[in-house]
Structure formats: structure tokens, C-alpha cells
Structure 1
Amino acid sequence: MLEPLRYDFMQRALIAGLAVAAVCAVIGVFVVQRGLAFLSDGLAHAAFGGIAIGLFMGASVENAVWIAIPFTAGIAIGIGYILRRTQLRGDVATGVFFSFSFALGVLFLGLRTATDRQISVDALLFGSMLAVTPKVLIVVVAVSIVALVLTIALWSRLAYAIFDPELAALSGVPVGILEYLLLAETAVVVVVAVKTVGVVLVSSFVVIPAATARLVGGTLPRTTIFALVIGMVGAGTGLIVSYHINTPAAATIILIHSAGFAAALVYTRLKR
């Protein structure tokens, strides 16, 4: 069953998949609790727009990520501003920026000339886990570690701000700053994850493990641990299964995550 791990490309894919699954699951717990499940999808499409701008400027796909990160973080801050300062809900703000960013991406890809370096739009949209290079792997792992360390360092304040923002604000917790920080952190993680799982599928890595864990977790620490385990087990299992049945890795992982969500849903219904 573990025979594929003899190959270097599978080892890189596994490490990248586990790193992405871990950080997306942990951040996803806060995103889902805040009612911003659609956020990761909107930021993934913002990343598409940012990468397209980088490609239009002549950067390679790998280097275009460094242009996409500030662009997507800016979009995330914009969503947060609208959410906090207007009467619009988070899904409305996300939907506006979702459409704008994706249209911008399509526009800039269309403006590229025939002499520009060729890119695989499918790889951008649906990911290419098996094509992760050593350089990309280093970036993915480094960003994942930094994001996890930052989240753990701010754990108590972030949890307080997300679960009871009004009481947290009265207690002197900088709720606004923490929310903007969470949005920016999510943006950076999503951009890096797009390199492995694609624009279309990355939101599932954020939302499904967290939603599954919330069904069965109970307390925040338990929910986070469950989300982490669900995300990483699904990523590892999905990658191995995809190799043996010759299916796209990211899609297979998400189907396994979805099966876990369905099982958790049935379990909670039967438990009542």
C-alpha cells in the first residue's frame, strides 16, 4: 500500500499535502466559527487574480506567488473592512471580491501574448500535487509552520475574539486587529495552498475538516485536534489511494474528507 512513497515526487507530495491539510484545518476552525466558510473560496479566486497579474508582468508561476500574496492579503483586508464597517454580510463582501478577482485573472491571462511562457491553467485551477518541486515544498512547509506557530501564539485571544467579539472588546482584546490578522493569515495560506491543490479545491481543505470536527468535537481544543487529524489523515490516505486508482490527488483527498463529513453527520443524527 505504501509502495508509492519510494518515489521522490510522492514523498514531496505527501509532505506538502500534510502541511497544507494541517494549517488549513486549524485556521478553518476559526473561519467556520466566524461564519466565513465562503471566505477561503473567495481568497483562492483572489489568488488566481494575483498570480495572473504576476504572469502578465513576466514572472514564472512559482515567482508569481509572491505577487499574489500581497494582492490576496489586500483583498482579505478589504473583505474584513466591509464586514466590520458596513451592513453587508461576509458572504456578500466575499462574493463581490470573488467575482472581481477572478475576472481580473481571466483578463490578465487573456492579455498575455503568444510569445509569453506557456502555463497550465488546469494546474492553477485544480492543482498539481504530484508536480511539487523541492523549492515549492520548502515554501509550503515554511509558510505552514509560521502560520501554525502564529495561530498557537495568539490562540486564547483569537478564540475569545472569534467566539464572543463583543465581550472580548469590552475586556480590552483588540478584536478588529485579530480579525484582520486572521483574514491576512488565511490569505497567505490559501495562496500557498493553491500551488498544490488549486484554486477550485483549496477551500475544501479549509472548510470540510473544520466542519466535520465541529459536528463531533465539542470544545474548541477538541474541535481543533479533530480537524487537524481529519485533515491530515484524509490528505495522506487520499494521496496514496489516488496513486493506486490513478485519479487526481487533490480531488481524491477532498472526496475522502467529504465522506468523513457525511459519516460525522450520520453519527450526530443517530446519537440524538
Structure 2
Amino acid sequence: MIDGLLVLLQTGVLETLLTPLYWVLDGWYWVMVRVHHLTGLEMLSPDYRFMYRAILVGLCIGIVAPVIGTFLVHRQLALIGDALAHTAFAGVAVGLFLNAVIDLGVSPYLTAVVVAVIAALAIELISEATDAYNDVSMAIVLSTGFALGSTLISINAGGLSVGIDQYLFGNLSTVSPTNAVILLALFVAIVATVVVTRNQLLYVTFDETAAAVSGISVNWYNRIMVMLTALVVVGAMQIMGVILVAAMLVVPVAGATQISRSFTESIFVSVILAELAVLLGIGFAFYGRATGGPVIVLVAVAIYVVAVVLGKLQTLVGARATPELEAIETDDAGAVGSRES
């Protein structure tokens, strides 16, 4: 079984399995070239094909991160993204270590997927087995993951010597075709799972007790949620980095809750805010020659501040627009009348 998993993880084998998604990537290149011809934007020039991939990855993350984040925020699990990001860093370190020691030829992002999913399940299993609060299990997994990653990176075995800045802070220019296609595969898997399990996830999110009474396996859907979070985290690592990846799960959702009136509306608004942050952030980062991940987060936070202000104004206007109630009174003859209070 392990040999089969190693064969599947090897880049050449994976590229064969993901060939249809490479066709999608080629189609995206064609679209971006046409947009460049229409707009003349320098960052969309064919000379910067890595920007095409970075934009595609960013747009995908701008959809799945706030969708999953909306469930997490309402379940008070906003920090789980940070915990899984640090364990995903350990997964990257495992991939780099295996490539250096046994020349496995595997993408570090693939080993990050495996390790992050295992960590997500570990968080749930620790909580279930010890009756500890979720933040305790998250802290344990976060510390273990980052310690493991740091240890493997520091070992100079087999000539292992890599720069880790791109994994810590993200890098637009390092989104390779293979990594972009891996993200597309994760995107399809996440969206399909949410569509199929939306009602159950919603039920478990707002009332675990009622969900359990109705026959829904709460533990099973909790595990699905944390595994989906792990996949989002690994995908977002490419442009956001380990340190900032949790922001895309939380900040757009926090902004959306300020101006939304329902859970479904909150999902749609958070996606819009996230996509706006991604596009503006990538643009500012390119023309300002800055690192993409931090700029995207700063833009997302600025949008959050605007959303908070709009939410307060919305509440104020709504309060002023509420009509005054009239007091009902009767005269001596029993006739009903009214006067303004």
C-alpha cells in the first residue's frame, strides 16, 4: 500500500492522471492572453506567464477559502487554519527531505496535502479521545507540526539545503504548472464535497445535538470539515505562505458577517470580498514589486474595515427608517382612534 502511495505521489505519474486539468490550464493561458490584448495590462503580458497561474490559484482560493471559512467561523474554529498551515509546512519539509535523501521526485505540496489531512484528523481524534477543547488539540498539532518541519529543514542530510521563505510567506512566481494543476484538483474536490454535504454540514454547524438526534454522524462530518480545511490551507500556501494562509479563511468571512443577513448571503459576500482582495492584492504586489501574500492580506483587512463601517451605517440607517409606533386609544363613545407617541 505504501509503495502504491509513493508511486502515485511521484510527479510523472500524477501529471498523467491530471492531464485534463492541464488542458484547463492551457485554456486559462489563452483567456489571459486575450485579456492582455484588450486591457494592455503589463502584469498580463505573455512574458509573465507565472502571473496567469498565480491569478488562477488566487481566484480558486478566493472561492473555497471563504466558503469553508464561513462554516469554521460560525463554529468558533477560526484558528484551525493556522494550526493546519503549520502542519502543512511539516508536509513540505517531508517532501523536500524525501527528495533529497531518496530522490523520490515528489512535489512538496503533495506531501503537504497528506500531512495536513493527517493533522486535521488528529485534531478531531485528540478532542474526541481526551474530551479536550478544540483549541487544546489545535495547539498540540500546531506545535508538533512546526517543530517537525523545522527539524527536517535544519537537517543537512543528503545535501538538503533549501530556502523556506517561499513556503513561509508565499511567492507568486513559484506557482508552477504542476502546482497550479494540483490546486485545480483540490478546488474541484472541495467544491464537490461542499455541494454534496452542504445540508449536513450546515446542520452540524448550528446544532450538533439536534443533528445527532436526527441520525447524522456528527463526528464524521466534523472530520470532513477539518479535512476540507486542510486541503484549502495547502492550496493557499502557494501564494499566501504558512504564516498568512489562515487570513483567507477568516478575514473575508468576518467582513461578510458585518453586512450580510443570512448564512447563505454571508457565503456569497465573503467570496466577493475574497476575490476582490486577491485581484487587488496581486496587482498591487506586481506593480509594487512586493510579496503577494502579505499584500493580499493587507487588502483583505482594509476591505474588512470598510465592511465594518458599512455595517454600522446600515444599522444606523435601518434604525432611522423604522416607523414610529402609534398609540391606540378610545374615546368616550368607544370609537377607536390613534395618536402619535
Per the shorter chain, which TM-score range?
Answer: over 0.9
Matched residue of 2:242: which SS?
A: coil
For 1:161 and 1:81, locate their aligned partners in 2 and report how far apart those are by CA, in whole Å: 17
Give the structure 2 partner of residue 78 of structure 1: 122
CA contact (8 A) 2:99 2:106 kept: no
SS of the residue corresponding to residue 159 of structure 2 reads coil
1:220 paired residue among 253, 263, 272: 263
Q: Does 1:125 align with 2:180?
A: no
1:182–1:246 Cα change, 3 Å = same
Give the counterpart letter for 2:126 in structure 1: I
Question: Aligned to 1:218, what secondary structure does the other structure show?
Answer: coil
Secondary structure of the residue aligned to 1:147 is: helix
Question: 1:157 Cα deviation (Å)?
Answer: 1.1
Q: Residues of 2 paired with 1:86 and 1:268: CA distance?
A: 40
Write the distance in 2 (CA, Å) between the matches of 1:219 and 1:82.
Answer: 33
Q: Does 1:109 align with 2:153?
A: yes
The 1:231/1:46 distance shift into structure 2, 3 A limit, reads same
- Quote how far apart the aligned CAs of 1:65 are: 2.3
| Alignment map for 1:1-272 (pairs within 5 Å) | 2-6=41-45, 7-58=48-99, 63-113=107-157, 115-116=159-160, 118-270=161-313, 271-272=315-316
Does the residue aligned with 1:199 lie in a helix, a strand or coil?
Answer: helix
Question: How many aligned residue pairs are there?
Answer: 271
Higher relative contact order (CA 8 A, sep 6+): 1
Which whole-Å CA distance do the structure 1 matches of 2:285 and 2:99 have between them? Answer: 34
**Cα distance in 1 between the residues matched to 2:196 and 2:203:** 13
Q: C-alpha separation between the residues in 1 aligned to 2:288 and 2:139?
A: 36
Taking the aligned partners of 1:61 and 1:178, their CA distance within structure 2 comes to 34
Q: Is the 8 A contact 2:153 2:162 kept in 1?
A: no
Q: Is the 8 A contact 1:48 1:101 kept in 2?
A: yes
Structure 2 residues without counterparts, runs of 5 or longer = 1-38, 317-341
SS at match of 2:243: coil
Tell whether the 8 Å contact from 2:239 to 2:292 is kept in structure 1 after alignment. Answer: no
- Cα separation, 1, equivalents of 2:254 and 2:303: 10
On the 8 A contact 1:14/1:236 being kept in 2, the answer is yes
Distance verdict in 2 for CA 1:9–1:62, change over 3 Å: farther
Question: Where do 5+ consecutive residues of structure 1 fail to align?
Answer: none
Tell me: CA distance 1:269–1:84, structure 2 relative to 1, closer, same or farther (3 Å). farther
RMSD over equivalenced CA pairs, Å: 1.8
Q: Partners in 2 of 1:24 and 1:206 — Cα distance?
A: 5
CA distance in structure 2 between the aligned counterparts of 1:203 and 1:144, rounded to whole angstroms: 17
Structure showing greater Rg: 2
**Amino-acid identity (%):** 30
1:129 and 1:43 mapped to 2: Cα distance? 21
CA distance in 2 between counterparts of 1:244 and 1:58 reads 35
CA distance in 2, matches of 1:139, 1:221: 28
> Contact 1:56–1:112 (CA<8 Å) still a contact in 2?
no
Q: C-alpha deviations, 1:207-228, integer Å up to 9, x for none?
A: 1111211222221110110111
Q: Is the 8 A contact 1:55 1:61 kept in 2?
A: no
Letter in 1 for 2:140: V
Query: What's the secondary structure of 2:99's corresponding residue?
Result: coil
Distance 2:219 2:263 in 1: 21
